[in-house]
Structure 1
């Protein structure tokens, strides 16, 4: 994610850990691990220490099939979500994340299931207990007027209405505003989208464009995201867009959708997208998806861009540095996702450092110059307020230390191990965790393995120590 203002961006609540893990403290009405009932009840949260109620336990969603109809004039959304999942324990009951919207029908393996709402939790009791390892299908029909989630830093995420449609950006908690999900980065799935909107509007989702058809004044768009994707990276953005489609020389299918009011300002930057992806592929390894592109909306009040998988979403015409940042997230954040939200520097520090590297290798300021300028920030500056490796669950996970001091940590690593080892570490990280998840501990272990150096002090200083280090 990238802010369009100097301070880093938007979003803040939600999400949990591995699909089968339970929360540290079982909420009221749920039995704590170790009790008999816990063996048949999926946990209400996925166990993330920052956002313990987000995500769910007891199952893994393999595939989402989302059929949506949206009317921009009324703001009404009709949806049917079909989730193909696998039980990771015996399940007599499990939760989905869904905020707002009215559920009108819910079945498990075709049989009606009992369900109730409990805040952001959709609590499901299937007709029969699901055995561990059982692959099952949950169908949820729902409708209503989706509302964005307002995060502690004041920004919105989720389904955000615009003057001609909706800007759908889900980091970290917004997916649950428009479809029932296991909403944590560790539960990654493939997706199909079928989205119907008024004729003249375009609905853009992730992955490969499969075509559209128009009948009775409405157009249906079909999309497929075959590679695993975290729920917060999904989009179904709607607007009156100019569409550009082409295939790069590397075979990537590019789909750009641009609001006409932003087209002139966006044209020169979007023209560089193939060369940016080619440059990043040389540095970080092969591009991890089959599709690429951009959605450039006219939604400047949103205040940020987001690395929606395969097709970043911009609230207005992006700068080249923002394009580089969101494109780098396709490796660091999208393909390799965090295991816990406290490791968000693995996304934002890496994407910020990609900006530094791009500038350095294209005739601009060196990464060292960037580092030196930031290091001159006074001791009381926001940059030194908290450590990027554990920023806390308040308004900090998208603040300056995560981005800039995270990038500074990478630059210090580069200086300590040298360029050959540093760039091998980045490539090995992207390759070794491709389409999966990673932790800070795993990254530091990889850096020490590749470099053959003890880097404990470096990482402790730059990732886990509050305040400005004594020496750069």
Structure 2
């Protein structure tokens, strides 16, 4: 995710606040207590978000049905079905869920007791479940688009709703294991009044008309993290075109703005082709832009259907090259962050550093915005960024009540700077081989910073542990290979990149 600049004057170096995924793949077993224990919120021990996710099971699929009644200030009726594999003995099953009313819970076809603890829905099956067993959980609930002071979830648009679930607010919308380490297949079924259009991640699989409503069904073909889920409901037009290798490209836009947005939308197939030339085939079944008539303040890489606020494309002070580079940033996330998802939130730099890298590289190749100039500018600010937010792979925790505050400049240009240093260190051909191998090796899965270090070392034929330790974990920015004259002196504002 990138923060959309709000100042009247365009500033290409505006600090970005992103949304990327975090996760810890550790599946800690629950206490096998001899006496019943009180319900409590659990987590999988993520360094930055200790209570995020839940131990003891692995979700394989979600099937989520929403019924929207035409008023985006009123709760939706919903049914969430979860299929999971048990990985540890469980007397209770914790799900992440809040800001909705739970009406009933079934486990494997039988009614189950439930309670709440913190932001967890705690479900008690009739009997303890054991490793290797399958869990089929059905939760009947509401999903409230007006949930008080939150940092995401449902986004109310001028004519309906969209989703923005990063970093960990999918559970404000539906019950889930809300951590990127537990990716799963998704099916969405959305019922809305006639005259509205519903679209979700993946490809359409069914559409049924009734007297006053229409129900759409969509299904993903690849596993997805909960924070990348997307459902759009509104007075929208769905536009279709074809990308490289006959990839279906579909855009979802406010019907009234269709003609105004078309000059931007038609650029997507070429951008996909450019990315494929850099890192290989696009990893999913479809792609496109969801343009929301809303003041989100950001753009977001929801899987197969990236969320953009309309204002990005309509504000006259944004140069064309800048808007296109932001489009490429979210597109690049489909490889880096969506297909290859981080295992912990401390691995956030792998998402945002790479998306920023290809954003900057595209601007250099297509609009003559020098990458080296941008990296030198980032180098001068790097020590300041590290002091404020921590080094790229060991970010400081969020401020109290502000989970998205982990998305600081160090995970954007500060992390792209580490990738630039790697290219300087091992050479362009080897660096490009590392990038291609990364998205191929870990496609549809999760990976860690240690995985990236190991892969880069293997491909380069060098032990890069010392190099990465300095660049990813050091409190101070190391010397830049090939540029001994670069300094981390805070820049004069007059030397910032020119407005073009």
TM over 0.5: yes
- Identify the residue that residue 208 of structure 1 maps to in structure 2: 203
- Identify the residue that residue 94 of structure 1 maps to in structure 2: 93
Report the CA distance shift for 1:262/1:389 in structure 2 as closer, same or farther (over 3 A).
farther
- Identify the residue that residue 314 of structure 1 maps to in structure 2: 308
CA positional deviation for 1:86: 0.7
CA positional deviation for 1:42: 11
CA positional deviation for 1:281: 1.5
Greater strand content:
1
- Identify the residue that residue 61 of structure 1 maps to in structure 2: 59
More deviation, 1-10/104-113: 1-10
- State the Cα deviation string for residues 298-355 of structure 1 (Å, max 9, x = none): 11x2100111001111122452111100110010000000000011000000000011
Report the CA distance shift for 1:352/1:249 in structure 2 as closer, same or farther (over 3 A).
closer
- Kept after mapping to 2: 8 A contact 1:18/1:57: no
Tell me, yes or no, if structure 1 residue 391 matches structure 2 residue 387. Answer: no
For the aligned residue pairs, the C-alpha RMSD in angstroms reads: 2.5
Pick aligned residue for 2:329 from 305, 319, 325: 325
Distance (whole Å) between structure 2 residues aligned to residue 453 and residue 238 of structure 1: 51
Tell me, yes or no, if structure 1 residue 366 matches structure 2 residue 370. Answer: yes
- Kept after mapping to 1: 8 A contact 2:143/2:174: no
- Kept after mapping to 1: 8 A contact 2:243/2:272: no
Q: Normalization by structure 1: what TM-score? A: 0.90
The correspondence of residues 279-298 of structure 1 with structure 2, limited to 5 A, is 279-298=274-293
- Kept after mapping to 1: 8 A contact 2:385/2:410: no
> Secondary structure at 2:326's aligned position in 1?
helix
Distance (whole Å) between structure 2 residues aligned to residue 144 and residue 338 of structure 1: 27
Report the CA distance shift for 1:204/1:16 in structure 2 as closer, same or farther (over 3 A).
same
- Identify the residue that residue 452 of structure 1 maps to in structure 2: 461
The correspondence of residues 16-415 of structure 1 with structure 2, limited to 5 A, is 16-18=23-25, 20-21=27-28, 31=31, 44-73=42-71, 74-147=73-146, 150=149, 156-260=151-255, 262-299=257-294, 301-316=295-310, 317-318=312-313, 319-377=323-381, 380=384, 386-395=390-399, 396-415=405-424
Q: Normalization by structure 2: what TM-score? A: 0.85
CA positional deviation for 1:359: 2.0
- Kept after mapping to 2: 8 A contact 1:15/1:54: no
> Secondary structure at 2:437's aligned position in 1?
helix
> Secondary structure at 2:177's aligned position in 1?
coil
Gapped regions of structure 2 (runs ≥ 5): 6-13, 314-322, 400-404, 487-500
Distance (whole Å) between structure 1 residues aligned to residue 303 and residue 198 of structure 2: 15
Distance (whole Å) between structure 1 residues aligned to residue 166 and residue 384 of structure 2: 29
CA positional deviation for 1:442: 1.1
- State the Cα deviation string for residues 60-119 of structure 1 (Å, max 9, x = none): 110101111113424221100111111012222110000121111110110011110112
Gapped regions of structure 1 (runs ≥ 5): 23-29
Distance (whole Å) between structure 1 residues aligned to residue 459 and residue 413 of structure 2: 24
Tell me, yes or no, if structure 1 residue 443 matches structure 2 residue 473. Answer: no
- Kept after mapping to 1: 8 A contact 2:271/2:328: yes
- State the Cα deviation string for residues 115-151 of structure 1 (Å, max 9, x = none): 1011210001111222210112100000152345756
CA positional deviation for 1:7: 1.7
Report the CA distance shift for 1:231/1:37 in structure 2 as closer, same or farther (over 3 A).
farther
> Secondary structure at 2:287's aligned position in 1?
strand
| Alignment size in residue pairs | 456
> Secondary structure at 2:138's aligned position in 1?
strand
